[in-house]
Chains A and B, each alone.
Chain A
Amino acid sequence: MKDMNMETRVLIQPNKIEARNVQVYYGDNHAIKDVDVDILDKTVTAFIGPSGCGKSTFLRCLNRMNDTIASCRVEGLIKIEGEDINDPRVDPVQLRAKVGMVFQKPNPFPKSIYDNVAYGPKIHGLTKNKAELDEVVESCLRRAALWGEVKDRLSAPGTSLSGGQQQRLCIARAIATSPEVLLMDEPCSALDPIATAQVEELIDDLRSQFSVVIVTHSMQQAARVSQRTAFFHLGYVVEYGETSQIFTNPKDPRTESYITGRIG
């Protein structure tokens, strides 16, 4: 019943992001080859694949974080709501406000918990006064399931939290700019199982509002949290489809080998 429900939802969601024929080069190294992927709105999409297959690189294309790497060159078309994000008129600053990102290692700023979350709204001018800002901070911390743990020490430094709490703080920080897409680059790789479970629960919850793209090493995690899965291998997208279909009935032999543990 639950599966059924999910599939219908997936089917009715419009495309949030369309990527066509994307190529990425690091210097002479051709890291991403001919990638076509459509990301649906209000859906969790998982990118899986062996290390070095390009899944993180492709993720970073989606909010142009690759711009910060001098040797990196991106070709092809990536559209968000029909707008080419590599258009010269696009300001990456605005793009990134719309497409938020959570990183592999928790990276809270060396500021208070409050200031960490308030950072995005402040720089983008999303709130008019302190009261509004307080409200945003509280609601984001609540959504990140962190409010109960930190409400009494909002002025403590973000770095004083535990690893799992730090990562949830980073998620709270990312959703505070009210993005439309949330990119997560192996968000649980530095966390213990309990913290991982909390973050996964949170991701499932976030789906109601955002389109979430998650890169993960763990196939179980992909199976648990995502509705759609793309399998990356050597820079190519080998297979992309419903998560249940990828895991139960892969079409490509390489996907099957990976899922059964023969490559990776």
Chain B
Amino acid sequence: MAIKFILPTTLVTLLLSQGAAFAQEAAVAEAALSPTLQRLLFLAAALVFLSIAFVMGRNRATAMRNTVAMMHSLPGFHGAVAVQWGALGAFAGVIAHAITGYPMGMLGAVIFAVALALMGVAYALTTIKPDFRARTFTERSVMAFLILCSLVAVLTTVGIVASLVFETAHFFQLYPASEFFFSTVWNPKFGGGSSLGIWPLIWGTLYVSAIALIVAVPIGLMSAVYLAEYASPRVRSWAKPAIEILAGIPTIVYGLFALITVGPLLRDYFAQPMGLGDSSSSVMTAGLVMGIMVIPFVSSLSDDIINAVPQSLRDGSLGLGATPSETVRKVVLPAALPGIVGAVLLAASRAIGETMIVVMGAGAAAKLSLNPFEAMTTVTVKIVSQLTGDTEFASPETLVAFALGLTLFTLTLGLNIVALVIVRKYREQYE
């Protein structure tokens, strides 16, 4: 018993002295190692350290179990407790230094963290007692970790909103909000005196999205109707995934398709012969290609929604002598309408937020024009062009991107929420 108690204590002291010596050597070696390698080494050392802590905790608990009648938790849980305290110590050490700006230098920080970690482990070892609920303790920590992870989603939203709002406020200090919201001229200049009115961009965005929906909604909806009501199971089993491939293709591929195939085609066979312009990037190019991309968003969700319409309604209609198409048009689609509206709204939000297709297909000129064969630009294109390259976060020309981002975020969020609410209500109706 005594020996078993002394052993870990000696080990700790040994580790402490060894750790200090190692740290000195490390300081010498530091200059020779690349930062990446240093980080990897640090990680590996931490892992080894925690494994040792685990083994020590477990062995100690195992030893105790042999001497007492009954322990609340299995030895492994006591080992886990040692790991938690050790990790907590190390983490606290690192964080304390990181936020105070490394007052003792990199090396001091490492030593400090190691010392705290060792103290943590040492404390954990003293807690090992028959009635200590190590399992409950561990489970609580795991639970805390699970909750923390589920909060990442919330933090992401907070981060998005905070960064957008903060920088937008910054922008409005440098540039009048009224100009941004009411001016119809977009003309950023890099010496000051820019006009940054959002309307040409909103117009381009809505124009492209409208064309996309005009392409995607009929095709997507009719495909969904055919798949849900007419197609044999065999046709359905390959046609549905085949259409969904369209949704899995990265948008950069559509962008390139717009740039090298659709754009020149539209210019050579439509725009130039009709005298409507000679630009290969145009609202029509981006809208058509985006429409193709959006087809599966309409068709998949509509297909689900049409399938959710109870069979009894179809039977009722067919039983009265309606043809299948009459059943679809007069019973199934009206019953599915709210869900389909939700699907279309989601597709619209997708189209409004799409970036690569418009960057490569729509052009960069901010214009308020009705000619679909003219190059126009969208909110997303301007976010990209204002924020790539050398970005200096003091000029309104750069910061305007955040105001554009906030506009885009609000617009798509609104559409999404409305769509989700509609779809959810619809599903509940038939449950």
Q: Are A and B physically bound partners?
A: yes
Question: Which positions in A face B, CB cutoff 8 Å?
Answer: 63, 65, 68, 70, 93-98, 100-103, 105, 107-111, 119-120, 123-124, 170, 173-174, 177
The contact string, 1 if C-beta is below 8 Å from chain A, for chain B 249-292, is 00000000000000000000000000000000000000000000
Smallest CB-CB separation from B312: which chain A residue?
Answer: A107
The contact string, 1 if C-beta is below 8 Å from chain A, for chain B 319-336, is 111110010001100110
- Minimum distance in angstroms from B133 CB to a CB of chain A: 54
Contact partner of A107 among B310, B321, B323, B330, CB < 8 A? B310
Please report the C-alpha to C-alpha distance between residue A93 and residue B319 in the assembled complex, in whole angstroms: 9
Q: Evaluate contact between A103 and B320: CB separation under 8 angstroms.
A: no
The reply on B318 being an interface residue by CB < 8 A is: yes
Smallest CB-CB separation from B331: which chain A residue?
Answer: A109
Chain B residues, CB < 8 A from A119: 317, 320, 322, 330-331
Chain A residues, CB < 8 A from B101: none
The reply on B173 being an interface residue by CB < 8 A is: no
Q: Evaluate contact between B320 and A107: CB separation under 8 angstroms.
A: no
Q: Evaluate contact between B314 and A68: CB separation under 8 angstroms.
A: yes
Contact partner of A123 among B313, B315, B319, B326, CB < 8 A? B326
Contacts A96-B321, A177-B321; is A107 near B233 (CB within 8 Å)? no
Please report the C-alpha to C-alpha distance between residue A68 and residue B324 in the assembled complex, in whole angstroms: 10
> In chain B, residues 293-343, which have Cβ atoms closer than 8 Å to a Cβ of chain A?
310, 312-323, 326, 330-331, 334-335
Contact partner of B316 among A109, A123, A177, CB < 8 A? A109
The reply on B232 being an interface residue by CB < 8 A is: yes
Smallest CB-CB separation from B315: which chain A residue?
Answer: A103
Q: Evaluate contact between B313 and A107: CB separation under 8 angstroms.
A: yes
Contacts A109-B331, A111-B334; is A96 near B319 (CB within 8 Å)? yes
- Minimum distance in angstroms from A103 CB to a CB of chain B: 6
Q: Evaluate contact between A65 and B323: CB separation under 8 angstroms.
A: no
Contacts A103-B312, A107-B313; is A65 near B318 (CB within 8 Å)? yes
Q: Evaluate contact between B320 and A105: CB separation under 8 angstroms.
A: no
Chain B residues, CB < 8 A from A101: 315, 319-320
Q: Evaluate contact between B310 and A123: CB separation under 8 angstroms.
A: no
Q: Evaluate contact between B318 and A120: CB separation under 8 angstroms.
A: no
Contacts A65-B315, A105-B312, A107-B310; is A173 near B320 (CB within 8 Å)? yes
Q: Evaluate contact between B335 and A109: CB separation under 8 angstroms.
A: yes
7 pairs, A vs B, C-beta closer than 8 Å: A96-B318, A97-B321, A107-B315, A109-B331, A119-B322, A120-B320, A177-B321
Smallest CB-CB separation from B318: which chain A residue?
Answer: A68
Q: Evaluate contact between A123 and B330: CB separation under 8 angstroms.
A: yes
